[in-house]
Structure 1
Amino acid sequence: MSLSVAVQMDPLAGINIAGDSSFALMLAAQARGHRLFHYAAEDLNWSGDRLWAKAHPVTVQRVAGDHFRFDDPVGLDLGEQADVVLMRQDPPFDLGYITATHLLERIADRTLVVNDPASVRNAPEKVFVLDYARFMPPTLITRSLDEARAFLAEHGAIVIKPLHGNGGKAIFKVEADAANLSALIEVFNQTWREPHMVQAFLPAVAKGDKRIVLVDGEVVGAINRLPGEGEIRSNLAVGGSAEKTELTEREREICAALGPELKRRGLIFVGIDVIGGEWLTEINVTSPTGIVAIERFDGTDVAGLIWDAIERRVAERKAVGAR
């Protein structure tokens, strides 16, 4: 089954092909004979019942500096001329991102959007995870300095991060003396209108922050991400390193609890983050990563498993439409 695949993502010129999950998905799609198109979220247009984008037919190859080639752009009708839209632009999860989900939702009955746009909109990383608070470290959502102080007094050391941040950006540890807490809350409140996430600091982060990938609700692999020297953040984007890992019983329990709901919501490709083998901190649905590192350590073709799930969903939809 050859599919027409539109990839909504950031510019291809700036990606790191050695570790980029979107690029790995494009390579895997091309190898299966699927035709690829690339466009940016800001290229979306809507009129009547049509959603289209100025999109470039694209071919990709794993050659640094020469990893993609565009053909002349076309006006691609995403509801009629695309079988699949991969929504892979990086956060921030701002109004531009939210608007793209609203537009893509209007064609979701005709074209498979991965991940489901309404579910992405309703499941931001650090908010959706609150549905599974029983697996989380002690957590406070607030803009209040007084509440943050009380939480710090209770837990001894805390981490503060933007509620809709990504890639390990703007994550701060505050020690028990609260030396910079008031200034930090002031800066956060001036920078972001939404409340912030405050969590008890987990010393186990020194041993890594595990990224577990689920495809259509099933675990397909994991890596352990280790913080760089002098860092508490283990994200690969901020200097963390990856190593091979296995799941703990607690992590399997977490995945078993999440899996059916992820599948029900049409969240085909999801990456969850777990610290210390037991503490769930995020459920990444917007543009999850990690599949290249998993394949490097385990030999698991995660991109292929994702395309198996996508092709299965497309076939199911076409079978229903033919009845």
Structure 2
Amino acid sequence: MKLAFVINDLATEQSNYTTIRLSRIASARGHTVALIGLGDFIYDPEGEICAMATLVGKTKFEKDEAFLEEIQTNRERERICLADYDILMLRSDPAQEMGTRDWAPAAGLLFSQIAAKSGTIVLNDPKHLTDAVNKTYFQHFPESVRPKTLITREPEEVKRFVDAQKGGKAVIKPLQGSGGQGVFIIDKKSGRNMNQIIEAVTRDGYAIVQEYLAKAKDGDIRMITLNGRPLKVGDTYACLHRFSQTEDHRSNISAGGGVEMIEPDEDMLKVAELAGPKLIEDGMYLCGLDIVGDKMMEINVDTPGGINFLEDLSGVDFCGAILDDLERKVRLKEQYGGSLNNLQLAVL
């Protein structure tokens, strides 16, 4: 199998990224792996989507750190044609480009949409991912699994929303963002600080304001879904409890939160069940559901992470299960002779 990953930039990849773990394991299994930065695409005169990519080839490294060091320091970029690749996985984070390369995320999606027409399986489905990358996508899921939500840039609207919440407490964050960046808890006691927080969050766009869920003080759950269903290997779910280890309320791993494996309870599985049909409808192959109690706080459709932590904590080969599934999709595509479209292949 020839597998390409779209990332922000190879220079900014880190050894604890899920993409690096997937790339290392795929390479060790004998697959050809290519890493493509958002600025590396080429639409050539023949109408093909090409890229200047870092090729990994077939290598065996025991540690992610050694693997990343090798490809960052000892590999030259080579020109590839994506029509020659079986799978293109979109693993870039739009939030990393805000204010510096605002053009990059949209460009990556547009090139990927054309690549899908050439027969490469693109995951998550790039046509629907164009809509799903925005947090407004969250509002298309059943109301029963969503916290009360306001999206606005008007300070007075935010204040009215906070006043109307139980306990007069809410969470405010940028509509575009990830990794717990720019997330604040506000309440009636915030006073003048509330104005400053609202101004900071809305400086570069809209704010999303949600009711505060009391169980959030104990952290949240990151549940990985594959083909619209919870990823499970044997008896073990890819389900991670993330919690704050400081006075900072954020439980995101990138914000310094702690992690532990957890068995999902009935509420968590019900949330995943209700989210599944929409994920399948939109070709969202690999996602991360962030759950508090019986509510989803966010859906990560771009770069759902945590798989490396899940594997290290449990010893379960979740990457292997994902790669097995990708190989199955390639076989299905070949057997059906091109009659299955990208959206179908994404979630079959």
| TM-score between the two structures when normalised by the length of structure 1 | 0.91
Alignment gaps of 5+ in structure 1: none
Give, in angstroms, the shift of residue 46 of structure 1: 1.2
State which of 209, 216, 221 in structure 2 corresponds to 1:205: 216
Q: Which residue of 1 aligns with 2:275?
A: 258
User: SS at the partner of 2:288?
Assistant: strand
For these two proteins, the number of residue pairs brought into alignment is: 316
CA deviations on 1:252-271 (whole Å, 9 max, x unpaired) are 11111222332342222110
CA deviations on 1:208-233 (whole Å, 9 max, x unpaired) are 11000011122122010001210110
1:1-323 aligned within 5 A: 3-17=1-15, 19-47=16-44, 48-58=46-56, 61=61, 62=63, 64=65, 67=68, 68-69=70-71, 70-78=74-82, 80-92=83-95, 94-109=102-117, 110-124=119-133, 126-132=135-141, 133-155=143-165, 156-179=168-191, 180-192=193-205, 195-220=206-231, 221-275=238-292, 277-321=293-337
User: SS at the partner of 2:53?
Assistant: strand
User: SS at the partner of 1:191?
Assistant: coil
Partners of 2:134 and 2:262 in 1: CA distance: 23
What amino acid is the match of 2:181? Answer: K
Alignment gaps of 5+ in structure 2: 232-237, 340-348
Give, in angstroms, the shift of residue 13 of structure 1: 4.7
CA contact (8 A) 1:91 1:287 kept: no
What amino acid is the match of 1:202? Answer: L
Partners of 1:142 and 1:176 in 2: CA distance: 18
1:157/1:311 CA distance change after superposition, 3 Å: same
CA deviations on 1:86-116 (whole Å, 9 max, x unpaired) are 2112221754212211111012131011211
CA contact (8 A) 1:274 1:281 kept: yes
CA contact (8 A) 2:38 2:107 kept: no
Give, in angstroms, the shift of residue 299 of structure 1: 3.1
Structure with a larger share of its residues in helix: 2
CA RMSD in angstroms comes to: 2.0
Partners of 1:205 and 1:51 in 2: CA distance: 44
CA contact (8 A) 2:21 2:64 kept: no
User: SS at the partner of 1:104?
Assistant: helix
| TM-score between the two structures when normalised by the length of structure 2 | 0.85
CA contact (8 A) 1:215 1:309 kept: no
Sequence identity (%): 28
User: SS at the partner of 1:159?
Assistant: strand
What amino acid is the match of 1:129? Answer: F
Partners of 2:309 and 2:271 in 1: CA distance: 22
CA contact (8 A) 1:139 1:200 kept: yes
Which is further off, 52-61 or 237-246? 52-61
User: SS at the partner of 2:178?
Assistant: coil
CA contact (8 A) 1:228 1:241 kept: yes
What amino acid is the match of 1:10? Answer: N
1:100/1:10 CA distance change after superposition, 3 Å: closer
